[in-house]
């Protein structure tokens, strides 16, 4: 049973939420920037990229953007601490995914090339 006199926790000011999302947005953008740079370098090489290479490296560009939007949607009605934790968890997921892409590219790079 819930107590009818209990009030919900106050939401943080909008400037605080915007600051948290903005700072984490820059960190997500750094991962996207690295993915785009890696895609350009690989595609501009002498052998180019195969269809699998295009798919994997384009997905590495799109994935952090999707995770960022999902984290903002999940944390938008939470207080500042939980919003920060959701954004940090999404950033950690994006970073691990990016490291997996790099590891795959360096170990099996010949499969990505055309």
62-110: pLDDT as tens digits:
999 999 999 999 998 888 999 999 999 999 999 999 999 999 888 877 6
Q: What is the pTM of this model?
A: 0.84
Alpha carbons 70 and 68: distance in angstroms, whole number: 5
Tokens linked to 109: 């790079």
Alpha carbons 94 and 26: distance in angstroms, whole number: 13
């Amino acid at each position: 049973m819930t107590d009818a006199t209990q009030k919900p926790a106050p939401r943080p000011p909008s400037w605080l939420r915007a600051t948290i999302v903005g700072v984490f947005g820059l960190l997500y953008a750094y991962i996207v920037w690295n993915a785009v740079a890696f895609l350009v370098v690989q595609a501009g090489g002498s052998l180019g990229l195969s269809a699998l290479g295009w798919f994997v490296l384009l997905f590495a560009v799109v994935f952090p953007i999707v995770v960022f939007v999902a984290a903002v949607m999940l944390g938008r009605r939470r207080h500042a601490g939980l919003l920060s934790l959701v954004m940090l968890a999404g950033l950690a997921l994006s970073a691990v995914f990016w490291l997996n892409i790099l590891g795959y590219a360096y170990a099996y790079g010949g499969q990505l090339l055309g």
